[in-house]
Amino acid sequence: MKYISTRGDAPSLTFEDVVLTGLAPDGGLYVPETLPKFSQEEIASWAGLSYQELAFKVIAPFVAGEIPDADLQGLIDKSYATFRHDAIAPLVQTGHNEWILELFQGPTLAFKDFALQFLGNLLDYILKKRDQKVVVMGATSGDTGSAAIEGCRHCDNIDIFILHPYQRVSDVQRRQMTTVLEKNVHNIALKGNFDDCQNMVKASFGDQSFLPEGRQLVAVNSINWARIMAQIVYYFYAALALGGPARPISFSVPTGNFGDIFAGYLAKQMGLPIDQLVIATNANDILHRCISENDHSKKELIHSLSPSMDIMVSSNFERLLFDLYGRNGASIKQLMEEFKSGAMHLSDEALVKARELFSSYRLDDEEMIQVIADVFEHTEYLLDPHTAIGVQAARKRRRRQDIPMVCLATAHPAKFPEAVRKAGQTDDPALPHHMADLFDREERYEVLDNDLSVVQKHMQGNIRA
C-alpha cells in the first residue's frame, strides 16, 4: 500500500512512513493510492465480531503487512482496553429509526480517543522498532489535545507539545490536558484562537530547523492518516449493528475539521452502503456554506458553546476535494492557492458529486440549546452541544425515514456544563468515576504569546535529550 499527496508533488510513502510524516512536503495531505474494497458478502460475514476484531478487518489492508498481523491485533486490543463500555461504541435509540452512536466511552470522553489511543500505541511500536525519537506537535480546539496526551503520555520516545487557545476551551477540556504531569507532556495556552494554533503547527511542520538534530515533528491532528483510518471502523460497526449491509444506513456528523465525516465517506467508498452523510456545523459554517451555496470563504471565527467545532479552515476537506477533482493534484494545488486569498469555489461537476452523498445544516447556540432541552424532555437522554447539532441536522436534512439515521455523539455532556445548564439542567452532569477528582488535580501549562518564535523557543528548551 502506497500513500500519495493530494497536491501531487511529493514522493509516495509506505504506511509506517506516512504515520511519521503528517503533512506532505508539497503542503498536501497523504491518502492511500488505492482504497481497499469489501464485497457485501464479506461485510455481512463480520456481523457479531467484537469492535476490536472488526477494527483489524478494516485496518489491516491499509497496513499491508508492514506490521505483522499478531502485532497489529495486539496494538488494537491495547488501544481499546481503556474504554469504559464493553461495546466500545454503543448505540442508543432516541427516536424513530434515529440512533446515537456513543463515541465518548474512551479515557478522555471524546471520539478522538478512537484514533488517538491507537495512534499513540502505533507510534510507540514504530519508534521502538526504529530506535527513533520524535516530537509530537498538535493544535486542539478542545478534545484532540487530551486524547493525544493520553495516547502518548507513556511513550518514552515522544515529547508532546499541545497548543490550545487560551481561555477558549471548557474547564474540563483544559484540565484533562493540563493535569497530566508526565515529563514528556507540555501544554501551551496560546493567546489566540484555534486557527492561530493550527497555523503555528503548520508553519512548524513546514520548517523544522528549530528542532534538535535527529528529531522530526509528528502530527496527531487529523492530518495524520492513521487517525482517519481508525475512525472508519465505527461506521462499519454501527451499520452492522443496525442490519447492514443488507440495508443502507445514514449518518449525521458534528463537523469541524472534516476528519470524522471523511472517514464515513471512505467507509462508503470501501463498500459500506451509506445512503447519506449530513455535515452538521455550528455558527462557524464554512462547510455548510460550501455544500449549500458553493461559498467556501473564510469569515471571522465565532466563539460558541460547541468549542470543538470553532474552526474556520477544515483541513481534511482537501482530501475530499482530491477525489471530487478526479485525484488531480495540480487542480487541488491551484484550488488551495485560490483559497489563500480567502475564498474558493468548487466546479459545477465537483459540487454535483459532493451533493449526491452529503447534505448540510447549520445551528447557532440558541437552537442547539433548545435541542438539548427537547431531546432530554422526550427521552431523558442528555446530549452534549456538538451531538445536539448533529441530531438537529439529521432531523432537518434527513432524506428517508425508512433508513436508520445514526448521529455521532462526539463527546460526553460533562465536558460542556455551560451548555447543559443553559438547556435547563439544574445540576452539572457528573464526570465518570475515573475522572471524579479532576478539579482537585494539579495543573501545569504555559501561557504564551501568539508568536511562532516564542513557541518554538519554549519547545527547544523542553525537548529531552
| Residue 354 confidence (pLDDT) | 97
pLDDT at residue 401, as a whole number:
95
Active site (annotated) includes residue 2: no
Locate 253 and state its grid cell.
456528523
* Model-wide pTM > 0.75: yes
Cell numbers of 215, please? 528529531
What's the pLDDT score for residue 132? 95
Distance CA 433, CA 426 (A): 20
pLDDT at residue 428, rounded to an integer:
87
Give the list of residues 6+ apart from residue 70 with CB closer than 8 angstroms, or none: none
- The whole-number pLDDT of residue 375 equals 97
pLDDT (tens, 9 = 90+) of the chain, 465 residues, equals: 999 999 999 999 999 999 998 789 899 999 999 999 999 999 999 999 999 999 999 999 999 999 999 999 999 999 999 999 999 999 999 999 999 999 999 999 999 999 999 999 999 999 999 999 999 999 987 788 999 999 999 898 999 999 999 999 889 989 999 999 999 999 999 999 988 998 999 899 889 999 999 999 998 888 899 999 999 999 999 999 999 999 999 999 999 889 999 999 999 999 999 999 999 999 999 999 999 999 999 999 898 999 889 888 898 999 999 999 999 999 999 999 999 999 999 999 999 999 999 999 999 999 999 999 999 999 999 999 999 999 999 999 999 999 999 999 999 999 999 999 999 998 888 898 889 999 999 999 999 999 999 999 999 999 998
Nearest Cα residue to 313 out of 424, 221, 195, 426: 195
All 3 cell numbers of residue 407? 448521529
Q: Which residue has the cell 506516512?
A: 18
User: CA separation (Å) from 190 to 151, 163, 200, 223?
Assistant: 22, 6, 10, 21
Identify whether the C-beta of residue 328 lies closer than 8 Å to the C-beta of residue 300.
no
Question: What is the C-alpha separation between 183 and 160, in angstroms, rounded?
Answer: 10
Residue pair 277/253 in contact by the 8 Å Cβ criterion: yes
Q: Looking up cell 481534511, which residue turns up? A: 316
C-alpha distances in angstroms, 263 versus 210, 268, 301, 374?
33, 9, 25, 29
pLDDT in tens, 168-193: 988 998 999 999 999 999 999 999 99
Cα–Cα dist 282/254, whole Å: 8
With contact defined as beta carbons under 8 Å apart, do 427 and 413 qualify? no
Tens-place pLDDT, residues 378-415? 999 999 999 999 999 999 999 999 999 999 999 999 99
Active-site hit among 37, 57, 112, 340: 112
| Cβ atoms of 277 and 109 closer than 8 Å | no
Reported as a single tens digit per residue, the pLDDT across 17-69 is 999 987 898 999 999 999 999 999 999 999 999 999 999 999 999 999 999 99
- Structural domains of the chain in order of their starting residue, each with its CATH number: 86-109+225-422 (3.40.50.1100)
* pLDDT in the model for residue 361: 98
Indicate the pairing of strand 185-190 with strand 158-165.
parallel
- The CA-atom distances, in angstroms, between 112 and each of 156, 312, 444 are 22, 19, 22
pLDDT at residue 308 in the model: 87
3-state SS string for the chain: CCEEECCCCCCCECHHHHHHHCCCCCCCCEEECCCCCCCHHHHHCCCCCCHHHHHHHHHHHHHCCCCCHHHHHHHHHHHHCCCCCCCCCCEEEEECCEEEEECCCCCCCECHHHHHHHHHHHHHHHHHHHCCCEEEEEECCCCHHHHHHHHHCCCCCEEEEEEEECCCCCHHHHHHHHCCCCCCEEEEEECCCHHHHHHHHHHHHHCCCCCCCCCCEEECCCCCHHHHHHHHHHHHHHHHHCCCCCCCEEEEEECCCCHHHHHHHHHHHCCCCEEEEEEEECCCCHHHHHHHHCCEECCCCCCCCCHHHCCCCCCCHHHHHHHHCCCCHHHHHHHHHHHHCCEECCCHHHHHHHHHHEEEEECCHHHHHHHHHHHHHHHCCCCCHHHHHHHHHHHHHCCCCCCCEEEEECECHHHCHHHHHHCCCCCCCCCCHHHCCHHHCCCCCEEECCCHHHHHHHHHCCCCC
Model pLDDT, residue 143 = 80
Contact 251, 277 (CB under 8 A): yes
Kindly list the distances between the CA atom of residue 121 and the CA atoms of 19, 76, 162, 259, 465, in Å, as whole numbers in the listed order.
Answer: 12, 8, 18, 20, 22
